[in-house]
Amino acid sequence: MPTNIDRHELQRLLTEGAQLVEVLEPRSYEEEHLPGAISIPLKRLKRETVAQLDAGRAVIVYCWDNQ
């Protein structure tokens, strides 16, 4: 179930080995992405594309929100 987290929780989870996935479009990812983030654009997010993730580690999904 999705859960919003703040930057402190993000840092803690990453320290514990979580995987950071950015679902931004490739151009946006190339222009500016968080260090260590894996790019899997939202439109390509499916079983085959997430196979590269380690199922035994937490996954944090990030997308820019202009609201």
What does the pLDDT look like over 5-39, one tens digit per residue? 999 999 999 999 999 999 988 888 888 888 889 99
User: What's residue 3's pLDDT?
Assistant: 84
pLDDT band for 63, please (50, 70, 90 cuts): confident
Residue 59 pLDDT exceeds 60: yes
The arithmetic mean of pLDDT across residues 50-63, rounded, is 91
Distance CA 19, CA 21 (A): 6
Enter the tokens of residue 4: 């919003």
User: Which burial class, exposed, middle or buried, applies to 22 when counting CB atoms under 10 A from its CB (0-12, 13-18, 19+)?
Assistant: buried
